[in-house]
Amino acid sequence: MNETIELLRKHRSIRRYKDTDVPEEHLREIIVTAQAAPTSSNIQAYSVVAVRDPEKRRKFAELAGNQQQVAETPVFLVWCADLNKIRSAVRLHEDTELSQNVELFLLATIDAALAAQNATVAAESLGYGTVYIGGIRNNPQAATDLLELPPLVYPVFGLCVGVPAQDPDIRPRLPIGAVYHRETYSEYGLEDEIRAYDETMSHYYATRKGGGKGGEDETKWSKEMWRRFDGKRQRDHMHDFLHRRGFELK
């Protein structure tokens, strides 16, 4: 296993941090590495806002559903899909509105995610721990207001970056057969793979450092998916919110 693969496989989200800063040089190094990520047709349709101010982080923690790690992290990076800069580039040539559709929304969101993941790997390589915070989409308008985002920009997720004050076990993933197909998608054996993963996750929760969680049935991955998605739509406000931000999802 080479060093890069070893680093990637060691990943686990970190939600407790030492009271140690992330120096601006490190942050710039992390962001420049994020910028090296591939980007659809080089459009680079994302921005990132670094939030260090404790009061602002406290507000983010609250709007994300009282996620304490956001208040504790020394720096909270908010990754945004950004069509504002594309519109600015277009307007250098013609005073026109951007032609938009769902595809352009996807490009910007994918660009933000790829850059953020590069940042995550860069931060981990420097010894920091990270955790994504999708919880900011519980209250996307409040997050937008805190960052004073212009139209055509929306916050996709946050990322806490700090020196780890915990050493959690690596969270197991699905068996490779549940994600890897050759030539065509095969559903053969999928239920068995999911059952096997249910066992793995129950064992993980029963034995992990820092304490277990729930009874055996409650810790099955399939049960967790059922609880999350059975008849429930998550963050239904996102469609209208994106529309108000100026994203056209047609």
- Contacts with ligand FMN, residue ranges (CB under 6 A): 11-13, 15, 64, 67, 131-135, 157, 171
| Region label for 183, one of left (φ > 0), alpha (ψ between -120 and 50) or beta (otherwise) | left
Are 140 and 237 in contact, with CB atoms under 8 Å apart? yes
The pair of three-digit structure tokens given for residue 208, joined into one six-digit string: 């992990």
Distance CA 6, CA 15 (A): 21
Give the residue closest to ligand FMN by C-beta: 134
Helical segments of the chain, H only: 3-9, 24-35, 54-63, 68-72, 84-91, 102-125, 140-147, 190-207, 221-229, 238-245
Of 222, 149, 154, the closest CA to residue 192 belongs to 222
Give strand pairing partners of 47: 80
Nearer to ligand FMN, 131 or 153 (CB): 131
Q: What is the dihedral of CA 17, 123, 4, 210, to 10 degrees?
A: 10
Report, in Å, the least distance between residue 171 CB and ligand FMN: 4
Distance CA 217, CA 223 (A): 7
Report, in Å, the least distance between residue 131 CB and ligand FMN: 5
DSSP 41: G
| Region label for 185, one of left (φ > 0), alpha (ψ between -120 and 50) or beta (otherwise) | beta
The pair of three-digit structure tokens given for residue 42, joined into one six-digit string: 């080089």
Report, in Å, the least distance between residue 133 CB and ligand FMN: 4
Report, in Å, the least distance between residue 23 CB and ligand FMN: 24
The pair of three-digit structure tokens given for residue 240, joined into one six-digit string: 């209208």
Report, in Å, the least distance between residue 87 CB and ligand FMN: 26
Nearer to ligand FMN, 94 or 236 (CB): 236
Nearer to ligand FMN, 39 or 130 (CB): 130
Nearer to ligand FMN, 100 or 146 (CB): 146
Nearer to ligand FMN, 171 or 244 (CB): 171
Nearer to ligand FMN, 100 or 144 (CB): 144
